[in-house]
Amino acid sequence: MSKKKIEKIQKKNAYSGLLWLFALGSLLGVVLEGIFCLVRYGRWETHVVSVWGPFCILYGFGIVGFYLCSTILKQKKWWVQFLIYCGVGFAIELICGCILEFGLRMRAWDYSEHFMNIRSHVSLKMTIVWGIAGIGFSKIAPYIDKLLKKTEKRVWKNLSLVFTVFMLVNLIVTTAAVVRWKERHINVPAKNRFERLLDENYNDSFMAERFCEWRFLE
């Protein structure tokens, strides 16, 4: 078998593994957020970032970022790893927070009461939490390697194609539904049949319940 063909197979395996890791992280994010709300507020809340399925995709991207870092930084000193994990968490929260604030005039979390925060999207406290979580994740990374090897089987590769298509459509519809939610908030009427379908299926009540932490910035 040629070297180019081997590299191609390895890339396909890597994509399949990272995709399922993303899915696992997205699901775990919903569970962890729910447990946190149960402990702190005495009620279960489902924090999702998609209109279909129990997916908190920020955690999905976070766990993939942590896994890639754990692979690249395996031989680095613990404090170097800690700082980079802090940077990964900081970047994800800041980018997503700014997209919501400046693109949609919305907010999904608020660190305004935290010491040394930037526009309430990131803070020193949460950046350190990301770093600690990353170090903890690096300890279980070898076990995740073993788990991901199971996704190299053909059935998982076929399922990864189906899941990829599903998530792409899910994220496109989610983005469109959130944009229409924002437009309805500022009294912009639907301009075509697709937007009218969004208004019918993903109205304000649905969106407010589905994205329970999100709020508009007046």
pLDDT in tens, 87-128: 999 999 999 999 999 999 999 999 999 999 999 999 999 999
3-state secondary structure of 103: helix
Considering the entire predicted model, what is its pTM? 0.84
Q: Give the pLDDT score at 82.
A: 95
The two structure tokens encoding residue 158: 């076929």
Average pLDDT over residues 48-66: 92
% of the chain exceeding 90 in pLDDT: 65
Q: Using the predicted structure, report yes or no on whether residue 177 has a pLDDT greater than 60.
A: yes
Q: Give the pLDDT score at 15.
A: 85
The two structure tokens encoding residue 73: 């930084």
Give the type of residue at 207: M
Radius of gyration of the CA atoms of the chain, in A: 19
Q: Give the pLDDT score at 6.
A: 37
* Helix boundaries (H) for 43-123: 57-72, 78-98
Give the helix/strand (H/E) hosting 215.
strand 215-216
The two structure tokens encoding residue 153: 């089987």
Please count the other Cβ atoms lying within 10 Å of the Cβ belonging to residue 178: 22
Q: Give the pLDDT score at 13.
A: 53
CA distances from 29 to 35, 55, 106, 192 (A): 10, 8, 21, 35
